[in-house]
Structures are given as C-alpha cells and as structure tokens.
Amino acid sequence: MERFHWLQHRCRQLLAGNSGQGWYSVPDGLSNKSSLDNHNSQHRFRGKRRMVLACHGPHQQEFQAVSKNYKGNAIRTTKYNLLTFIPMNLFQQFHRAANLYFLFLALLNWVPVVEAFQKEITMIPLLVVLTVIAVKDALEDYRRYLFDKKVNNSVVRVFCGTQKTYIDQCWMDVRVGDFVRLSCNEIIPADMLLLYSSDPRGVCYIETANLDGETNLKQREVVSGLPFQGVEFTPESFHSRIECENPKNDLSRFRGYIEHSSGVRVGLHSSNLLLRSCTIRNTETVIGIVVYAGHETKAMMNNSGPRYKRSKLEKRLNTDVLWCVFLLLIMCLSAAIGHGLWLKNHSDPVFQVDGEMSPALAGFYVFWTMIIVLQVLIPISLYVSIEIVKLGQIYFIHNDLALYNEQLDSRIQCRALNITEDLGQIQYLFSDKTGTLTENKMVFRRCSIFGVEYPHEENARRLEVYEADSNEAAGCSVTLKSGCSGKSLSCRSLSCNRSSVSLHTLTAEPAEEEDQLSTHVQPRSSAFCSRMTKEVVPDPQLVRKFNLLCSPVVHLTECCSENPSSLELTYITDFFLALAICNSVVVSSPSRPPHEVPEIQTPLKSLEEIKLMFQRFSFSPFSALSSHSIPPPIKGSPHSCASRLFTRGKTGSLTFSTPPNDTTDRSDIGQESKLETTNHKGELDSSAVREREDAVQMEDWETDDNFRDAKTNPDMAVQAVENLNREIASDGDTHHELLYEAESPDEAALVHAAQAYRCTLRGRSADSLLVDLPGLGSLAVPLLHILPFDSNRKRMSVVVRHPLTGQVVVYTKGADSVIMDLAETPKGEEQALDMYSHIREQTQKHLDTYAREGLRTLCIAKKGLDEKEYDVWLKGQLLAESSIENREELLLESAERLETNLTLLGATGIVDRLQEEVPETIETLQRAGIKVWVLTGDKQETAINIAYACKLLHASDQLLTANCGSKDACAALLEELKLEVQCGEGSLTDLTARVESSLVSVTGFILVIDGQTLNWALQEELKSNFLELTCRCKAVICCRSTPLQKSQVVQLIRDQLGVMTLAVGDGANDVSMIQVADVGIGISGQEGMQAVMSSDFAISRFKHLSKLLLVHGHWCYSRLANMILYFIYKNVMYVNLLFWYQFFCGFSGSVMTNSWVLIFFNLLFTSIPPLIYGILDQDIPADTLMELPELYQAAHTSKVYVPNMFWITVVDAFYQSLVCFFVPYFAFAGSDVGELSFGSPINASALLIILLHQVIESKTLTWIHVLVLLLSGGFYFGFVLLFSVICVTCSPPTNPLGVETLQMCQPLFYIVCALTIVTALLPRLLFRALHNTLYSSAVWKSAQMDKMDSEEYCRKMQCCTLSRSRGNRVPVCADNAGLEPSMAEVVS
Amino acid sequence: MVKQEQELDNRPDNTAFTQQRLPAWQPMLSAGIIIPGFVLIGLAFIGIGVALFVTSRSIQVLEIDYTGVAQDSPCFKCSDPNAKNCMCTMEFSIDSLFQGPVFFYYGLTNYFQNYRRYGVSKDANQLSGDLEYFTNPSDDCAPYVYDNNKPIVPCGSVANSMFNDTFKLFQIVNGARKQVPLDGKGIAWWTDYNVKYRNPNVTPLRNAFNGTVKPVFWSRPAYELDPTDPANNGFINQDFLVWMRRAALPNFRKLYRRITEGDFAEGLPAGNYSLEIAYNYPVLSFDGEKKVVFSNVSWMGGKNEFLGIAYLVIGSLCVVMSIVMLIVYAKFKFPEED
C-alpha cells in the first residue's frame, strides 16, 4: 500500500510539475550529501561549530583552511544533468509501483514459456508512461535549471579585498566570510550576520514573505559590541571571529558568539541573522558577513516537500484495488488449474505442441501468462487518471468566479491537489473566530477613559456599512490590492515553493515570475491600512474634552487647582499618547522613504529644549493648521501649561512658573462645560466642573471664527467634531498620507484612532518617536525601551521619557485580564484611592459591556518612574539583554518587574466585524448537516456574542456553559450537562408532540466550554463523556482555547467519531488545527500567510466555504466516486471477455483480439471518456445544491462509493462481459468463424457498451462529452480498420489483416453488435430508469414539491386576489385560506 | 474600464466552460424517455428477430459424421490409427432440392486450433514468401522447425497439422455415380490469397524449397499440394489458407468446396449421394469428431436459430419492460403531478 502512496505522491508532484513547485527543493541526493558533510565537518571542526572569519582580513590563510568545506553560494536544485538524465530518471521512475508492475509484466513476457504477446507489446504501457513522465521531468528540471541560473547570476555588492571596495558579484560567487552590502528592497543572497545598518538604532527590517509568507516586518539587530558601532562600517577593520552552530534548518534558532579582537565575546542569536531570500525593508543600507551560503542556508534547508494527504476515498479505493488483485489471482489460478486439467485430457493430439510437458508445469506457466493477459484488471492507470481528474477538478475550483474575491483580486488557492473529494464529505467544521468569521480588520469602535465611556455613535453607524457595498470601495481597494499583490508576488518569488503548490502558479507565466525576481518587489504599501481602519469618527464629547488641551487658557487655572477635570484631561492625553506610541508601528509616507521620516533624533533632556523644539515646530506644516488654536502671542504658554498638567502631583525636579493670564476667558469655557455636564450625567465630579465653570474663561477660542459662530449653537459639539474632521482632512491633503505598518491589526487600529484625535504618530527613529499632539504640535518622545508583546505576558510596554514632563513613563497596553490585575491602586490619599477604585470599577463595567458587544478589549495603563527606580530597572534589563544563556526568561522577568503598579488609564473596544454572509453561510452549513464548532482564544462573552451574531446560536437555543476549575468538577459537570441535555431532549419531543406552537420550546443545545475545562474534558477519562455531550449539542463553542487545544479537539473528534473534519482559520494559532483536520482551509486575511501556507485550500472569505463544500465538494466527490466505479467497471468488463474465452481455448491464454488493440483498448480507446466524466459531470446543478444544502448530507449518507456499490459494479461488469462474450459465441458457434473474426464483434460491442454505459451513468452531457465519446469510438474503428489493411505480417499470432474489413462488410457483425449492446445495457438502463422514477433523492423530490407548493400557493393567491378585485371588493385577509371557497362562490 | 480589468488580473474568466455552465443534455433516464425508447427498441428487435428467424429457417444444413466411432459406420475401419490410405464411403440422400449455391464444409469437434501455443507456432515471414526464413525458420515454429536438421517449410504446428482428408461427392443417378463438381477456388480470404501469403518468386516453385523438408505430418511437399492446378500450390493453396485461418472455437467447420457448377449450380437435386472419403486425419486421440456439412448461406451467414430467437426474446422483453414501467410510472408518478 505504501507503494501506492508513493506513487500518488509522485504523480501529484509530476502533475503539478509545471507549477514550479519544488523549484528550490533540494534533491534527495544533495541533501543527503550535505548532511553527510555536516557529519564530517562536525568531527573536524570542534564538534558542532563552524568558524567564520572575514575573507579578506589578516586571518585569510587560516580561514581558507577552515572554510574549504563550507559550501559556496551557488545553488543547484536540478535533479539531473544531460548525462545523468536518462539513468537517473529511469531509476527514479522505477521507484513507482505502477512502473514496477509494468516492468514486471514486460519482463514476464520475455520469458518464452509464459509469453502472451509479442515482446514489444507489453512494453508499450511502460514505454508510454516512462516517456511521458521523463519528458515532464526534463521540462521541470530545465525550468529549475533556468531558475537556478537566474538566481545564481543575480548581482549583489560584495566587498573585494584587493580593490578595497564593494563590487558587483554574482550570487554564486559569494562565499562564507564575504561582506555583503544590501540596499532597501534587495533580496538577501545568503544567511548573513548583520554588522551594520544605516538605521541609527542599529536595526534593520526584513520581510520574510519568501520564507514563511508572513508579510509583516521583522526587526533584526546589528551584532552588539562592535567597535565601529554607529559609524560607517569598514570591512578592513573587522577582525572578529564568529563561531556559530553548523547549518540547521530551524529558522527561528541561531546560536553562536562573536569574539571581537579585544577578546570580548558577544552572543549571537537569530535576531542578528539575515536569512537568505528575505527582503530588506525600510533600511537604506545594511552590511553583513556571510555565515551560511548556498545549500547550507536556512532557507534552502527548509524546503520540505509539498503537502500530501490521502483522501478517504483513496483509502477505500486501495482496498478495492486489493480486491481486484484478488480477483486477478483467482482468475489466473482457475485458468492455471483449468489448463492443467485440459492438458491432461489432451495429452497428444495433432494440435498439441509439446505433449511432454507435465500438466502441472504447464498450468504454472499459464498462471503467469494469464497475469500478462489480464493485467488490465489491476487499475494502475486509475491512479494516474485520478490525479488527472483531480487536476481538472482543481482547475474548475480555481476558476470559479464565486470563489473569487474582487476586493483582494484573489482566487481560491488549491494547495493540496488530492483531497478535493473530501470536501464533499465534511461532517464537522471547526472554525476559528477572529479573521475567519470576522474580518479581522480591527477598527476602533469605542473607548473608556478615566472611567467615562465614550460611545462613538457616529463611528458605530459608519461601521454598519460594508465597504464592499459602497462605491468608495474602488478607492480603498487600491491600497488593499497593492498590499495583497505584494503578498502574492513575494509568495511566488524565490524559495517560496510551498506556496506555489497552488494552481496560482500553474497558470502563471514563467516570464512573470522571472520578472519578479529581477525587478525587486515594489515597496508595499502598509499592511492593515484599510479605509475602514483609518477613518475613525471621533466622539464629539471626547473631542471637546481633548480640545481643552489645545486651549491653553483653560489649564492655567486648572493646572494650579488639583481638580479632577484636569486630572481627567491628563488621563485623556496620556491615553492617546499611549495609543500613539505604545506599539511597534513603523511609519512611512509614500513620498518619503520610511526610514527618513524622523528628523529629530537627539533625545530631549529638559523642558527648555522642549520649548525650543516647539517653537521650531510651530513653523512646521502642522502648526499652520493648528495655528488658530495656538495664537502666536501666547505661543509658549500652552506647552508649559500642558507640562504642568503632567507634573501635577509629582515631586519632579521640574517646576514651571505659569503666566497667569487667564482672567478673561472663563465664561466661554464655562458654557461648554455646562454642555458637557448636561450631556453626560454619569460623569465624575460634576461639582468640580461647576467649580471650573466659574473659574475658567475662554478667550482664545474666539480666534476661531467658526467656533465663535457656533458658540450659541446647541450642536456646538458636533460642529467641533466637524471642524476637527475638516482639519484632519486638510491635514491629510497637505501632508502625504502616513502609512502605518503594524505587526498586528489592533495596533494599527489604535494608532489610527489616536490619529483621529489628532494625536498622530509621525515617525519613529532609533530612540525617539515623533508625535503630534493637538495644540502642541510635534513632540519628540524619547524612546527608552520597547518591551515587545508576547503571548505569555499578553501585553506590551514602551518606556519613554514623557515629552512634557521629562519623567520616565511606562505605557502598557494589553489584555484586560492581565492589566486589570496589574493596575494596582496607587498609593496616595484616601480621596484618590476612592477615585481610582471608582475608575477601575467603571472601566471593568465598560469592559464587560464591550465584551458583550463582541468587541475586543484592550486596557491602557501607565506608570511613572522616578530616575532611581528607572536606573535600577535599567541595570537589570541591560543584564538580561546581554546575557546569552536563558536570555528570553531574563527578559521576561525584567519586563514583569517593570509592569507593576500600573495606573489604569482606560480601555478600548475594537470591533472586528463579521465578514459578509457569515450567518447565512453558517446556517447553510448547518442545514447541510455539518456540525459547526467555533474554537477561539477569545473571552467567553465575546465568543458567545459572535456566535449569536453569526446565527450559530439562536434565541431559542439553550446555552450550556462549562467552566470549572478542577478535573472532578469537570467530570461532574459533564455528567450533569449530559443529564440536562437528555431531559431537554425528552421535554423537547414531548413539547413538540403536545403543543407545536409552543413559543418557548428549546430547539437545540449549544455547549460553551472554556479552555481550562476543555483541558480536563480532553483527558482520557472524560473524553467519552465529552464526546457524548457534544454529539447531542447542535454546536460547540470553545473559548480561551490554545492552538494546541484546538488541534486536540479536532483530533479527538476526527479519531473518536471517525468523521471527516474540516478546520478553517486564518492565523498562526490555527495552523496546528488546520494540519490535523482532514481538510484544512486557510483564510488569507490580515494575519500573515501561515495558515494559508499550511492549508489545503486557501480562501479569502468565510462565505466561500458554502460553495466550496456544497457545490464543489459534492461534485468532486460524486464525480470521482463515479469515475472510479466506472473505471473499475470498464476494466473488469473488458478483462472478463478475455477470461471467458479461456474456457474455449483450453485455458491456454489465447486472446481473440489483436494484441495491439488489446493494449490500446485501455490505453487509448477508453481512457479519455472517464476523465471527462470525472471532471465535467454534474449530478445536480449548482443552483440546486446551493438552494438545498440538505443534498450535501444526503450525498454522504447515501454514499456513492461504498463497498456494495463496488460489488454491484463488479457484478454488472460480469454480467455485461458475459453477454458481450456469449451472444457472439452463440451467434458463431459451430460456424467457420476465425479467431480474430470472432473477436471483432466482441471488441466493437464491448467498446460501444463501455461508452454507452457512460452515457447512461452521466448526469449531464455536454458537447465535450459527445465529442470525446464520438472521438473515442471513431478512433477505435479507424484504428482497427486501418490496422487490418496495413498490417500484413505484423503482430503474430494475431495478425489482423483483412479481419475487420471483412467483418464490417457483413450484416451479421452489426446484428450481433446490436443484440449484444442492448442486452448488456438493458439491466443498467432499467435500473437507472426505475431509480430515477422511484428513488430519486427524497430531499430533491420534497424540494421540488416545496417549490411546486409555493408556486401553486402563489398562483392560488393571485387567482384569489384577482378574483377579489374583479369581484365586489370585499376586504378579506388574503392569508386566510379558509375564506377561499367562499370567495370563489362570491365570484361565481 | 481597461484599467479596472488590468487590476483584476486574477479574476477567473467568466466563460460557460470555466464556470461549468456549459449547456448540457441531462439524460435523467426517467420513464418518460425510457418507455417510448423501450417500445421502439422492442419493436425493432422483434422485427429483426422475425426476419432472422425466417431466414434461418430457410437455410438447409446437412451434417454427416464420418468419424467412424460407431461400429456400423462405413468409416469404422479407417478410424484405426494404423490404417493407412484408408478410403470409406458415406451414403446419404436428399429429399428435396438443396438450394444452391451449396457450401461443402468439413467439421471438427474438440479441436483446439485456438490453443495459444499451437497458434503461435508458425512463421509469418516464411509464409509471406521470404526465402530467408526458408532456411532459417523462426523459433516460434517450435517444435516443428527442423526435421533431421533440415528446416521445415512451412514450419510450425499449424501448418503441420493441416487437415488432409479429401472428399469426392457422387450423385447416384439410377445406380450410376455422377461426380458432383467441387469448386475449390475462392474458398479462402481474398487478403490471405493475395496479400498475406505469398510464394517465393522462384520458378519452378519446387526450387525454392531446395534444402527444406515437408512438414512431418504431410504426405506431400507444399509445392505439390494440388497436382491438378499449378497455381494452387505452395503457400497459396486454398485448402492450406483455409486451414491456416485458425478457428475461434474448438467445434468448428471449415469450407472445403463450393458446389456451383454444371448441373448443380441450382443446388443438389433430391436423390441419393455417395461421399468418398480419403480418411487420413486422426481425431480419436482427443475424442474429436469429423464431419462433412452441406449448407447454403443467406445474407446473415449460415444457419443460426439463436440470433433470431434472441432478438425476439430481447425485443419482447423490452416491450414487456415498457409496459411494466408504464404501470410503475402510472402508480408513482401520476399522483404527484395532480
């Protein structure tokens, strides 16, 4: 059986050959060799180490000695060269079981005693297969050769020791120890250690899309401790020794150290390594030293073969093939025995050739002869046919317009070519939530700051409209598209062979791909920048509050008084500042290269400098726009005021004298504040506001004419928002739009949200961030540290020096559960304590609300550090950073040390909208009998909410929640829930039986289980209980589940219930689930390509699933199943003709047909129709399948390809062959018919029967079918006629000269053929007719009836209303059917 | 518009083919199609069946077994394997005119000319007149390649086992034997006679056979098969050609002569006949039988009752089926349509 797998695998490879997959796959021989080399070098070079020195340095001699075993950078992915092609290709090909079978038959035929045909004839199938595959291999290899050549000859700048400069060199000439200099958007030619980056922070960004498909940028750091840090790198001065591990294929792991000339050793890790075939981004120049080259690079070592999955159908097929083998053996054995007996009875007649041979021996020989004669019975060619059929099916799936996403311009990608029919058998669907059911376009929806909720109603309204529906979509799809095409381009280029398994590239022009290689991929526009994300409509109230920051006068008093309102203002400002800077977003603007954006790079140390900075920046474009809010005369004051705000309550070293010019503006601001209070009663401390009412006046606002006009307007707040919007819009016009490249979509959403409040992240440099604050212009925020996000901490932090206070501040952003725990109540006065706890309470309440609404929640917190604290922490952090051993743990520890005692600022609710048509799709899938499970890492409330939204949960469903803390509790709970379900089911049936119209009847049970409980439930003891429970539930929602749990759940269901499972997901956390499931579907969305890379099919929208499964799955399954049955039928039917003849020729292995015709019958005459049948047949039209999802279920409950169908087919084949043989037999019995003349009508009618059988079995016949059938028939008759004319002495002993021509001139031939065909097909025809009349699918029929009924109903209603209108217009309720007769009477 | 199309370069073609919307005939073989179809097929088959049956009935066949197994058979004496050049005479009578042209067959039963190793045993090149293969016959001919180290021509088992009984037919008119002229020309296939089998281009023919020996079983060499007609010798001897076209089934007959000439052109008149048999061919070793068959032929070949009956049966089966279907259809389909 393994052989068959191998064969299929190989076939698939070959069939997909032109797709360019495996371009980079290292041939077995090579990889073996290299591993061998590794092994050797391990001994030679200090165990598992490799030493790298500069090629051109003083250690040149030494290094050359060491490095002679290192591979060059030239790659060779071809399998063959001109000389070795034929022997190696043959060797490869004879690894295939089918070829071995053919070879065995051919060799068997060379044994004189068992020879059945001429020697050359049995070699035809072998030769045909070998030639076809050899040609394919050759073409494939030639393409690889061309590609290698192209890659090897790509040019890169390499440091030349003699010329002391960087010169252009081909990739293949790059050696280990060379210094390579790369620019932005160049592809890295080999694995190199990053020694220099033009980025002052010593980082560079790479895109690894070619490697793993992820399009987000990854940061790489220059090796630390280099003497020339910060200055232009000079290779001559590099004298360090590098020691690193030997080449390994682990992409994320790299270990080693660099020993500088000073003797200092610095650890190296994977963030220092630039990997081959990645692309440099956002960095102008980088220089690195090559450590691994060519086939030793991680990219090259990571080329695993294509995905291979076996479909359920194939597994069944294999058993049936075994049955065929069994059948063949029986037939051969009976022939052998028969021959032995016959020979015993005819020991020495005149026709006996060799009377001396013992009957037993002769029987033995005949056994082998018969194997040659009946070889067709084993449908080896079926495997090839199946592959071709699947290719055709894939072609149609790939080309389906309904699976095409116009916004992204992306089609479905079919990555696994051999499980199309499994799509038609799915019983369980496991879906991820985020990005799968939802769009994963994180959009800022609402927020809560300082315990005050800002509902952002406008924003909500905006989100209700789907982008796709509006005409604006065209505009936004440009950015989307470019981002996406960048993605797909990079997938195709270079070593991304795994992605190019898809038919994408099968259809792609090779030239196109080459172009992509030569001209580097254009800089992409940013990821996660949909229009939806960007255009956040600010909340009017928040805008107004925030604007207070811009109105300098306000604060003047407020700064002094410690009133909560100003405290709130600081919260708000801090909140937005945190949104803007607490991330790893890279800013770029289309007009300027991304890395040039930040202009200020020196950290600001004192507020004096800030002042200066502000003055400088007041002439920046931004100031022009914001000038109305910062009038020139008092330019200095607002900043200082704002700074005061932030220094409040702290005993910071910075104190500022505030100019007290605040006396006149109080009434205005008072008015506004009143408005505020009337609008929002729930606000904190209304007394404080009232106090402020008196104290604050606002003269400055009068500079803004619009605003002053609007002052009396009750909708002033709205006006303010509009103003703001206008400003933002004009801002966008004058400035080039900023593009944010974020690692995750929520980050981008938050930055955009901050931008909407004019708190704009303008740029990022090594150690500072440039942020616009409303009214304050651009501020440089000195960036001290970034503690990146990790899934353990579930948060990220930035440590900055506050731009206004100069204090060291930690901003933390993270999951609410974590942050709420960390946000301790700060020490302080009683009142403050109360307030904080109030804020926490309120925020928690808001968070709960958000979660109920299905929003993603994030908490924002901050922490101020005094210099001493910071110093202490800094030491620990630096220690952690510089350590080599368990660096990760130390860093984690350090981060956790910092992120304590946080002050909660607020929370954000990010909405992730459902994708279009998700509820409909889920409903359809459920109607199709597929159980839908949602596995998500989200909170329970969010998960349930989404489940409601996507109609997985109905109001009438009963929710069973399982949350428990221990295993025993879980066991008990499961029992309890089981009981509950049982009771529920009982009552359900009772209820429905008694009162059908009961409104409160429970229609189903939905289990909601959280991660921890799931953990218990998945354990051995509780498994069965859990399964039993889930089987009774309509749907299951697993929340807070880890990727591992997801895959465990899928595995449990798949293995324990033995059902066909499908997993669909979009993120890296779904990969394991996708791989475990029988069919893995990746959604190419926002979260990189990892899910897509590991999937079998990649779609862009969840809604595509319904057509993919209901139509394509159904078709593929029924097509393939029918094709296989037909194929087996065809072989059994034809082979049996030969077998029956053995009864009349002494079981001697004679055939009544010319041997060429015999071989070609299967190979040529009847090979195409089954393929067409398997590719094009449609048992039920697509529309019907979509309208009636129940048909999907019906198809896999009444399976097409089940054992008894196989046997029915075989029995039918036996019957037909009996008829096909014995009708001519009786027609010719006793006559003077010659051997071949007897075979002629048998062959002809067998062919026609086989073709007509297909016509009967086909559900649809198109002109293609007709053409192929006619051509097949015509080809046969043409061939035999021609052959019987020209073949004078050929193919003894079955020389066909004159046979067919003579036969076809006689009416008897046609009489016999007609009788044979009709008799043979009569049962099948009858069965089909009866079947179609009586047993046509019950669902189908009922649906037809439904349709009829509704149509009829409509018709009747129409009649009714018509008649009524014609009649005396009695107002009658049209719905009341009871009135109909009376109406009719009235009319008549 | 053009721009938009360029942007959507991944968009699949919206053709009937790629979208699987090709206009298709759906042979949902429902009763509506099947019933009239069956009736038509049934009627046609019954028609053909009647024609075949009638034709078959009109064909006259006369079989005479002359194996001589039975003691009372005139050929009993010849059935002894040791008897050489044995002659026997079978008497038979015909009641009414045997319509001409009458075909004269010899028949063998239990004779496996389709035995694979037997069928292989010949040399097609030699038989096509290639002199090279006269001296070096193909190994296929084993075990009849060489006899006493001399190549056998024609080699092989098929040729070796050629049927060598000969027949003379006499009509007994008033006690006198009147020989019925037998036409031995044109009994083999035209292609065999003119294309496939060729004598070497050597005159006289016997020179071509120098250094070769006749098949072991033969009494005369190939070039002397028909002393009466020089053109009927060698590999293009009609009897040889008929023999070489191997029978498909173990019970077969082969055309020996046709009776087309003289007084018998109209057929064999009623009366007594005597068949003189030169009994040479041994069949008792494999329980075979030998017979002569007189038959006339029609457009459908020889007499065959089977085809006519089969057509009638299948035809009426079709009609019956259509009636059954009609009942089923009426029972299950009509109520729904109401």
Q: Kind of pairing, strands A1097-1099 and A1079-1083?
A: parallel
Q: Kind of pairing, strands A1035-1039 and A931-935?
A: parallel
Mean pLDDT computed over every residue of chain A: 72
Could you write out the three-class secondary structure of B183-204? ECCCCCCHHHHHHHCCCCCCCC
CB contacts of B9 in chain A (<8 Å) are: 409
Q: What is the mean pLDDT of residues A1289-1317?
A: 89
Q: Closest partner residue to A351 among B115, B251, B302, by Cβ?
A: B115
Q: Closest partner residue to B29 among A354, A1232, A1256, by Cβ?
A: A1256
Q: Give pLDDT, residue A13.
A: 44
Query: Quick check: B332 and A1302 CB within 8 A?
Result: no
Residue A1279: what are its φ and ψ, rounded to 5°? -65, -50
pLDDT tens for each residue of A548-579:
665 554 444 444 444 446 777 788 888 888 88
Q: What is the mean pLDDT of residues B180-189?
A: 90
Q: Give pLDDT, residue A1250.
A: 95
Q: How far apart are CA A1002 and CA A21, in angstroms?
A: 52
pLDDT tens for each residue of A1009-1018:
888 888 888 8
Kindly report the CA angle at A859 between A857 and A860, in degrees rounded to 5? Answer: 140
Q: Contact, A954 vs A1003, CB < 8 A?
A: yes
Element (H, E) at A808: strand A808-814
Q: What is the mean pLDDT of residues A1075-1102?
A: 79
Q: Closest partner residue to B117 among A353, A1223, A1238, by Cβ?
A: A353
Give SS3 for A799.
strand
Total CB pairs under 8 A between chain A and B: 256
Task: Tell me: cis bond preceding B143? Omega within 30 of 0 counts.
Answer: yes
Give residue A832's Cα distance to chain centre.
50
pLDDT tens for each residue of B281-309:
988 888 899 999 999 888 888 888 999 99
Give SS3 for A935.
strand
Nearest CA in chain A to B12: A399
Query: Is the model's pLDDT at A880 over the cut of 90?
Result: no
Q: How far apart are CA A1018 and CA A1052, in angstroms?
A: 8
Q: Contact, A106 vs A16, CB < 8 A?
A: no
pLDDT tens for each residue of A804-828:
777 888 888 888 877 888 776 655 5
Q: For chain A, give the percent of residues with pLDDT over 90.
A: 12
Ramachandran class of A225: left when φ > 0, alpha when ψ lies in -120 to 50, beta otherwise: left
Residue recorded with tokens 């505030």: A658
Q: Contact, B251 vs B110, CB < 8 A?
A: yes
Query: Is the model's pLDDT at A19 over the cut of 60?
Result: no
| Span of A64-73, A1145-1154, A1304-1313, A1364-1373 with lowest mean pLDDT | A1364-1373
Neighbours of A526 (CB within 10 A): 23
Q: Does A110 touch chain B (CB under 8 A)?
A: no
Neighbours of A1265 (CB within 10 A): 21
CB contacts of B143 in chain A (<8 Å) are: 353-354
- At A1354, is the pLDDT very low, low, confident or very high (cuts 50, 70, 90)? low
- At A1135, is the pLDDT very low, low, confident or very high (cuts 50, 70, 90)? very high
Q: Give pLDDT, residue A1197.
A: 61
Query: Quick check: A1318 and B41 CB within 8 A?
Result: yes
**Which residues, 6 or more positions from A30, have their beta carbon under 8 angstroms from its beta carbon?**
A76, A295
Q: Contact, A947 vs A918, CB < 8 A?
A: no
Query: Between these two residues, A1017 and A237, which has the higher pLDDT value?
Result: A1017
pLDDT tens for each residue of A113-137:
877 787 777 778 778 777 877 887 7
Query: Quick check: A1230 and B251 CB within 8 A?
Result: yes
Q: Contact, A679 vs A714, CB < 8 A?
A: no
- At A1379, is the pLDDT very low, low, confident or very high (cuts 50, 70, 90)? very low
Q: How far apart are CA A1256 and CA A524, in angstroms?
A: 55
Query: Quick check: B12 and A346 CB within 8 A?
Result: no
Q: How far apart are CA A160 and CA A722, in angstroms?
A: 61
Query: Quick check: B122 and A1223 CB within 8 A?
Result: no
Residue count (chain A): 1388
What order of strands is seen across the sheet that includes strand A203-207? Answer: A217-221, A203-207, A279-281
Q: What is the mean pLDDT of residues A1047-1058?
A: 88
Return the structure tokens found at B114.
Answer: 């389709």
Q: How far apart are CA B74 and CA A1077, in angstroms?
A: 85
**How far apart are the CA of A351 and the nearest CA of chain B, in angstroms?**
6
Q: Is A112 exposed, middle or buried (0-12, 13-18, 19+ CB in 10 A)?
A: exposed
Name the DSSP letter for residue B247.
B
pLDDT tens for each residue of A471-481:
333 333 333 33
pLDDT tens for each residue of B201-215:
888 888 889 889 999
Query: Quick check: A1261 and B321 CB within 8 A?
Result: no
Give SS3 for A1011.
helix
**Interface confidence (ipTM) of the complex:** 0.95
Q: What is the mean pLDDT of residues A269-283?
A: 82
Query: Is the model's pLDDT at B163 over the cut of 80?
Result: yes
Name the DSSP letter for residue A680.
-
Mutate to test the interface with B, among A350, A361, A1178 (most CBs of B within 10 A): A350
pLDDT tens for each residue of A739-751:
777 767 778 888 8
Q: How far apart are CA A932 and CA A427, in angstroms?
A: 9
Query: Quick check: A401 and B12 CB within 8 A?
Result: yes
pLDDT tens for each residue of A1171-1226:
999 999 888 888 888 888 888 877 666 566 677 888 999 999 999 999 999 999 99
The highest-confidence range among A299-303, A334-338, A841-845, by mean pLDDT, is: A334-338
**How far apart are the CA of A915 and the nearest CA of chain B, in angstroms?**
21
Residue recorded with tokens 């051997």: A1235
| Span of A63-77, A324-338, A1176-1190, A1235-1249 with lowest mean pLDDT | A63-77
Return the structure tokens found at B194.
Answer: 């003119």
Return the structure tokens found at B44.
Answer: 């046609």
Query: Quick check: A1297 and B191 CB within 8 A?
Result: yes
Q: Give pLDDT, residue A1349.
A: 56
Nearest CA in chain B to A1149: B116
pLDDT tens for each residue of B30-39:
667 788 888 9
Query: Is the model's pLDDT at A1053 over the cut of 60?
Result: yes
- At A1353, is the pLDDT very low, low, confident or very high (cuts 50, 70, 90)? low
Residue recorded with tokens 């500069």: A54
Mutate to test the interface with B, among A1333, A1345, A1352 (most CBs of B within 10 A): A1333
**CA proximity to B159, closest of A351, A15, A746, A96:** A351
**How far apart are the CA of A8 and the nearest CA of chain B, in angstroms?**
26
| Span of A186-200, A408-422, A1076-1090, A1189-1203 with lowest mean pLDDT | A1189-1203
Query: Quick check: B124 and A1146 CB within 8 A?
Result: no
Q: Kind of pairing, strands B271-279 and A49-52?
A: unpaired
Q: Give pLDDT, residue A668.
A: 42
Q: How far apart are CA A463 and CA A911, in angstroms?
A: 9
Helix axes A1114-1142, A1168-1176, angle to 10 degrees: 160
Query: Is the model's pLDDT at A361 over the cut of 70?
Result: yes
Q: Kind of pairing, strands B102-109 and B289-296?
A: antiparallel
Query: Is the model's pLDDT at B223 over the cut of 50?
Result: yes
Query: Quick check: A1148 and B112 CB within 8 A?
Result: yes
CB contacts of A1321 in chain B (<8 Å) are: none
Q: For chain A, give the percent of residues with pLDDT over 70.
A: 69
Binding site per annotation, positions of A for Mg(2+): 432, 434, 1066, 1070
pLDDT tens for each residue of A159-183:
887 777 888 888 888 888 888 888 8
pLDDT tens for each residue of A687-705:
444 444 443 333 333 333 4
CB contacts of B107 in chain A (<8 Å) are: 1230
Ramachandran class of A685: left when φ > 0, alpha when ψ lies in -120 to 50, beta otherwise: left
Domain ranges in chain B? 40-59+303-333, 65-97+108-249+270-293
- Catalytically annotated residues of A: 432
Q: How far apart are CA A653 and CA A801, in angstroms?
A: 14
**How far apart are the CA of A1318 and the nearest CA of chain B, in angstroms?**
8
Binding site per annotation, positions of A for ATP: 432-434, 747, 789, 813, 856, 936-938, 1040, 1046, 1069-1070
Q: Give pLDDT, residue A289.
A: 87
Nearest CA in chain B to A365: B117
Binding site per annotation, positions of A: 432-434, 747, 789, 813, 856, 936-938, 1040, 1046, 1066, 1069-1070
Q: What is the mean pLDDT of residues A762-786?
A: 80
C-alpha dihedral (A669, A673, A676, A677), degrees to nearest 10: -170
Residues 317-356 of A with CB under 8 A from B: 345-346, 348-354
